[in-house]
Amino acid sequence: MGFLTLPYQGETRMSRLSRNDGTEKIGMDLHRKAEEILRNRFLGKGDKAIRNKVCPLRDAIERNVKPGMTLHLTFTGSRWPTAAVYEIFRQFQNSRANFSIASLTVSGPLMILVHGDMVSRVITSYCGDSYHTIRPNPVYQRAFRDGKIVFENWSVLTFVLRLMAGAMKIGFVPTNSLMGSTMAVDNTDSLKVIEDPFESGRELPVLKPLVPDLSIAHALASDEEGNAIFFPPYAENLYGAMASRSGTILTVEKILPPETIKRYSYLVKLPSQYVVSVCEVPFGAHPGGVSNLAVQEVEGYMEDYEFFDNLHRVAKEPEQLDKWIAEWVLGCDNHDQYLKKLGSEKILYLKGRLRQDSWMLESKELMAGIDLESDYTSLEMAIIAASRRLADLIKDKGYSTILAGAGLANLASSLAYYRLVDKGRPVDLMVEMGLYGYTPRPFDPAILNFRNHPTCKMLADVHWIMGILMGGRNNSCIGCIGAAEIDRFGNINSTQTDVYIGGSGGANDIVSCSREVLSLAIQSANRFVERVSYVTSPGLKVNTLVSTLGIYEKEYTSGEFVLKGFFPDKRFSSDEENIRHIKENCG
């Protein structure tokens, strides 16, 4: 018998009901019930199965952070999860926590963990100060000198690739960076060189995944479950948070309802499955900042440059740093007290500086303090000369992008950009952390200046900028980087001599992957050396060197730099005296 059977003859049959026997009312009730179910289930009112992970920051740290952990401090959306770092210090003060700190850059307030003897290993691409310019940090230099911690140095891109491999749960990931550098020699436990299985005879560096025990990230906003909004540029992205064995402690500027988070789903970069705790901590990145050009429900804020400068000054003397920690960290039982100490005037000031027109308001005051009649300095001459040479190389060789390093290189790249676009020659500036096609704002030399974000053609991350747009198959990029120490072959050291300098940052990736590199450096006998003691960035593609004394080009037969021009010094009366002075400043 088939699936649908008819009643036998003689059985009671369903009768045809009239419109007046209540069937119409029943039908209407069923429709209303169906509509109610549809509304509840499909119009955003069905999010009942939510795991609320909100807790005080103190509880999140106490429950999840354990001695001996590898803690990954996320550099995405904001530079540091500062409030969490302060709370870790409060809970682990006077103890040998033996943390390994993995962070794309170890700078700013992270120094207090090293100063407090809580760290035995640092895994990073750069360990120093970042504002207003790149410079060594006294805390890390003392730790290096005393042998208190191990510095595991990587480049920006290779650090990110290792986290990505950890998140993807793959055995290794290839790279085009690090070959010929001291990092490749020092990190053989996590880097191997194999023969490319698809291109005979080609050596291919491969990297071991980096899998932290716990990540800590600061986001713009999330819901109670931990679906988190991060505003670009994304720097290292959220690979580390997705790779961590024990998940992520998430601090946020503001907790928003799930329906609001869904409205900004295109900005959600970390799903709740990776989050173990959610802590609402406004201004939780300070003295770092949080950029925001889209989410109306949350306010962003600029970096606090004055706070950075003061922290750098007190870091020079351990006793002064102890006093600073006693005042700003231990003297505040929690983050609310920290904000009260910071003060509403400073908070409103930093929020106001994020306005897109704030640079125009400040420019009048800054211009008034500039003496336009004074003579140029040797540093200014070098920046101008480097920008001219960079612009010429771009025109002559058809490059379409500039990857700007920090400090002097950033200023030279910005001037080269304006020099070219003013003459109708298009070129796009890029910054390793995710800025593409930006127009540099004046009066702020910080390479990650938030005021540049609204001018970008695209906001991306390290992987896109360094791995593809600068180093990919179709790149047409020239790099411009600085050098703490450089030799006649163009090998650059920005990591260590007998003191700790800072690290590669993106420099090794730039010299490894771009088409060509111009380096800009202050010249002295201890900086211009016969051979660098540590190869951060091999010199094969470093073809031009502009110093504070002159311009060098590499001879292709010898592979060595040759002086092609010099900047006359008013102290000397002849070219011979100028050249003698330049030779005396070559080691």
Q: Extract the tokens encoding 25.
A: 């009312």
Q: What is the pLDDT of residue 26?
A: 72
Distance CA 410, CA 396 (A): 21
> Cβ contacts of residue 95 below 8 Å, gap of 6+?
67, 118
Domain with CATH 3.40.1080.10 in the chain: 49-155+212-355, 378-584
pLDDT digits (tens, 9 = 90+) for 411-453: 999 999 999 999 999 999 999 999 999 999 988 888 889 999 9
Q: What is the pLDDT of residue 475?
A: 95
User: Is 184 strand, coil or helix?
Assistant: helix
Q: What is the pLDDT of residue 139?
A: 97
Q: What is the pLDDT of residue 546?
A: 98
Name the residue among 123, 116, 103 with its Cα closest to residue 143.
116
Q: Is the pLDDT of residue 132 over 90?
A: no
Provide the 8-state DSSP code for 452. G
- Percentage helix, strand, coil for the chain under 3-state DSSP, each rounded to 5: 35, 20, 45
Over residues 55-68, mean pLDDT: 98
Q: Domain 378-584 classified CATH 3.30.70.270?
A: no
Grade residue 24 by pLDDT with cuts at 50, 70 and 90.
low
> Cβ contacts of residue 395 below 8 Å, gap of 6+?
420, 425
pLDDT digits (tens, 9 = 90+) for 272-331: 999 999 999 999 999 999 999 999 999 999 999 999 999 999 999 999 999 999 999 999
CATH fold of 49-155+212-355 reads: Glutaconate Coenzyme A-transferase (3.40.1080)
Grade residue 6 by pLDDT with cuts at 50, 70 and 90.
very low
The residue among 576 and 20 whose pLDDT is bigger is: 576
Distance CA 230, CA 238 (A): 9
pTM for the model stands at: 0.92
Indicate the burial class of 102 (C-beta count within 10 angstroms; 0-12, 13-18, 19 or more). buried
Q: Is the pLDDT of residue 115 over 70?
A: yes
The answer to whether residues 507 and 492 touch, using CB atoms and an 8 Å cutoff, is yes
DSSP codes, 79-146: S--HHHHHHHHHHHTTS---EEEE-SEE-GGGHHHHHTT-EEEEEESEESB-SSS-B--HHHHHHHHH
Whole-number average pLDDT of the chain = 93
Distance CA 162, CA 153 (A): 13
Name the residue among 164, 261, 275 with its Cα closest to residue 218.
275
The answer to whether residues 540 and 554 touch, using CB atoms and an 8 Å cutoff, is no
Over residues 231-244, mean pLDDT: 98
Indicate the burial class of 445 (C-beta count within 10 angstroms; 0-12, 13-18, 19 or more). middle
Over residues 554-582, mean pLDDT: 94
Over residues 177-184, mean pLDDT: 98
Grade residue 21 by pLDDT with cuts at 50, 70 and 90.
low
- Which of 45-54, 139-148, 214-223 has the least mean pLDDT? 45-54
The answer to whether the Cα torsion of 58, 60, 63, 65 is positive or negative is negative
Over residues 386-401, mean pLDDT: 98
Q: What is the pLDDT of residue 5?
A: 43
CB atoms within 10 A of CB 452: 21
Distance CA 64, CA 276 (A): 8
Distance CA 283, CA 156 (A): 26
- Which of 58-67, 123-132, 340-349, 394-403 has the least mean pLDDT? 123-132
Residue with tokens 């070559």: 586
Name the residue among 279, 280, 286 with its Cα closest to residue 340.
286
Tell me the H-state helices in 123-221.
138-146, 156-168, 182-186
DSSP codes, 349-385: HHHHHTSTTHHHHHHHHHHHT--TTSPPPHHHHHHHH
Q: Is the pLDDT of residue 15 over 50?
A: no
Q: What is the pLDDT of residue 362?
A: 83
Over residues 547-568, mean pLDDT: 95
Distance CA 113, CA 232 (A): 27
Q: Is the pLDDT of residue 43 over 50?
A: yes
